[in-house]
């Protein structure tokens, strides 16, 4: 057991890193900051003053149950999908005056996800801004692809900006039929497109999942909204197939945003804010 008497040292950002109360961990903490970090294998990165440069290196160094702290201002552009194959919490420090995460990932690839989560339980991504794709991406599994046997994945406080280059790719894709217990908490999905080409969707899934929870999330159509995928009308949240126990509560549907749930879904949708012609198709 390790004790961090003053928390993990960030001044703003996710509560897990900003808490000044003691934090107890069975595993290790790894720090990453692109501007000053240096990648190295082994134990490198466990000292906040000597961070690693990339998340990939931190993932290579970490073990199941560890925490990776992306320090305030960390920025990465990714050209090859980062596979999350360990039960890791990736949590970012930093929050701008506008309330947005200051840690940002951008995908610059013609056909790839940014993160893939496969065959591992309990992965968490917290307080990270995912920017618009830099090039049109043919991948349809999702910028965050929650794939096979990846139950209990958590996205907390993340912010997805989706532009025209995200035309084929959901921000988050539930792409396997064995998903259970995935949760989205205070996550924002916004379309930043302004022309005829619109991003695919915020949360998208065409296969069955069980026990999906979407709490206090913001779905924002922005100026032109989202594009039709799966042969279904455009939606900021589009879960097309069977979903047992889908629970959506405190949803904010802005600028005409739509939640679409397939005909076989069972559960509930509570809306806390709706602007424009926001709608729920359920």
Q: Does 91 bind another protein (CB under 8 A)?
A: no
- Distances, alpha carbon 245 to alpha carbons 74, 101, 186, 260, 267, in Å: 36, 30, 19, 15, 5
**In terms of Cα–Cα distance, which of 16, 12, 55 is closest to 32?**
55
Q: Which of residues 170-199 bind another protein (CB under 8 A)?
A: 180-181
Number of residues that bind another protein (CB under 8 A): 42
Q: Does 24 bind another protein (CB under 8 A)?
A: yes
b/e map 51-60, b = 16+ CB within 10 Å: bbbbbbbbbe
CA distance 280 to 148: 28
CA 111 to chain CA mean position, Å: 19
Closest separation in Å from C-beta 279 to another protein: 10
Assess contact for 73 and 102: CB atoms under 8 A: yes
Q: Does 152 bind another protein (CB under 8 A)?
A: yes
8 or 33, CB closer to another protein?
Answer: 8
Query: In DSSP terms, which residues pair with 191 in a beta bridge?
Result: 162
Q: Does 22 bind another protein (CB under 8 A)?
A: yes
What does the per-residue mask of binding to another protein show for 29-68, with x meaning CB under 8 A? -----------------------------------xxxx-
Binding site residues, another protein, CB under 8 A: 1, 7, 15-16, 19, 21-27, 64-67, 87, 89, 121-122, 151-152, 180-181, 210-211, 244-245, 247, 249-250, 261, 265-272, 280, 282
């Amino acid at each position: 057991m390790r004790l961090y008497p003053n928390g993990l040292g960030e001044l703003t950002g996710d509560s897990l890193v900003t808490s000044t109360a003691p934090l107890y961990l069975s595993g290790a903490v790894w720090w990453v900051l692109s501007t000053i970090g240096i990648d190295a294998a082994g134990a490198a990165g466990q000292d906040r003053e000597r961070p690693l440069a990339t998340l990939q290196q931190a993932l290579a160094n970490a073990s199941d149950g560890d925490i990776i702290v992306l320090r305030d201002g960390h920025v990465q552009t990714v050209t090859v999908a980062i596979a999350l194959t360990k039960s890791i919490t990736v949590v970012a420090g930093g929050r701008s005056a506008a309330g947005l995460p200051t840690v940002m990932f951008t995908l610059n690839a013609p056909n790839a996800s940014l993160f893939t989560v496969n065959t591992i339980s309990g992965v968490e991504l917290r307080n990270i801004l995912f920017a618009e794709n830099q090039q049109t991406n043919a991948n349809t599994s999702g910028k965050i692809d929650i794939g096979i046997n990846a139950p209990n994945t958590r996205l907390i406080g993340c912010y997805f900006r989706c532009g025209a280059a995200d035309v084929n790719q959901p921000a988050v894709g539930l792409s396997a039929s064995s998903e259970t217990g995935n949760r989205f908490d205070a996550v924002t999905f916004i379309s930043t497109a302004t022309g005829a080409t619109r991003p695919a969707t915020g949360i998208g899934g065409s296969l069955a999942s069980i026990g999906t929870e979407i709490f206090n999330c913001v779905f924002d159509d922005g100026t032109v909204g989202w594009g039709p995928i799966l042969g279904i009308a455009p939606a900021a949240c589009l879960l097309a197939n069977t979903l047992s126990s889908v629970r959506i509560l405190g949803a904010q549907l802005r600028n005409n945003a739509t939640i679409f749930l397939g005909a076989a879904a069972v559960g509930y949708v509570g809306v806390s804010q709706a602007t424009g012609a926001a709608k729920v198709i359920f």
